Structure 1
Amino acid sequence: MPPSTTTEFERIVRSITRAGTRLPTGSALAPLRAASFYTAIALPFVYLPLIATGLSVENAPLVAALVAANVVTLVLGHGYGAD
């Protein structure tokens, strides 16, 4: 994709992904990476009750926070088990 068509969102995603892959492996951060990996797996199950009861405007901040937390845990846990 040429740089002129790269959106700001894509640049942010690439930046976050690079930051997550730069975490040292085999260090004191290994438990953080493992916890992030499994949290990223579990968080979508928290969405299910919200979706089942119907998404409303009052739940919007909660949904946004859950999605943001899921993105952060996906990035931090990305390299878990790759060793």
Structure 2
Amino acid sequence: MSTITDLDTIDTAESDEETNASSESLSTPVRFIGFWTAVALPFLYMPLLVTGLDTPGQLQTFLILLTLNLIALLVGHRHRGSA
């Protein structure tokens, strides 16, 4: 009986390693995109701040861009560029 349990444990460990590898291969590009989006978005909402938020549409656009920037910061904060 212990042999069957040991084989089940080995299968589970191999499955976990495969899941971690596929998860890591997916998270790397997502972090990359999040990081560079967080870098680029301020260039879009800075002109709004410079010219002023006079209309409700400008304010709404600014708040949407700011929210997207915060989400991108959360997603991309663990990105490590190739050294």
Greater helix percent: which structure? 2
Q: Which residue of 1 aligns with 2:64?
A: 65
Displaced runs of 4+ in structure 1, greater than 4 A? none
Name which of 51, 54, 68 aligns with 2:52.
54
The structural deviation recorded for 1:82 is 7.6
Identity of aligned residues (%): 35
Q: Which has the larger radius of gyration?
A: 2
Q: Which residue of 2 aligns with 1:40?
A: 38
Q: What's the TM-score, normalizing by structure 2?
A: 0.62
The structural deviation recorded for 1:44 is 0.6
| RMSD of aligned Cα (Å) | 2.3
Distance in 1, Cα, partners of 2:81 & 2:46: 29
Gaps of 5+ in 2: 1-21
Q: Is the 8 A contact 2:45 2:66 kept in 1?
A: no
Q: What's the TM-score, normalizing by structure 1?
A: 0.62
Higher relative contact order (CA 8 A, sep 6+): 1
The structural deviation recorded for 1:53 is 1.8
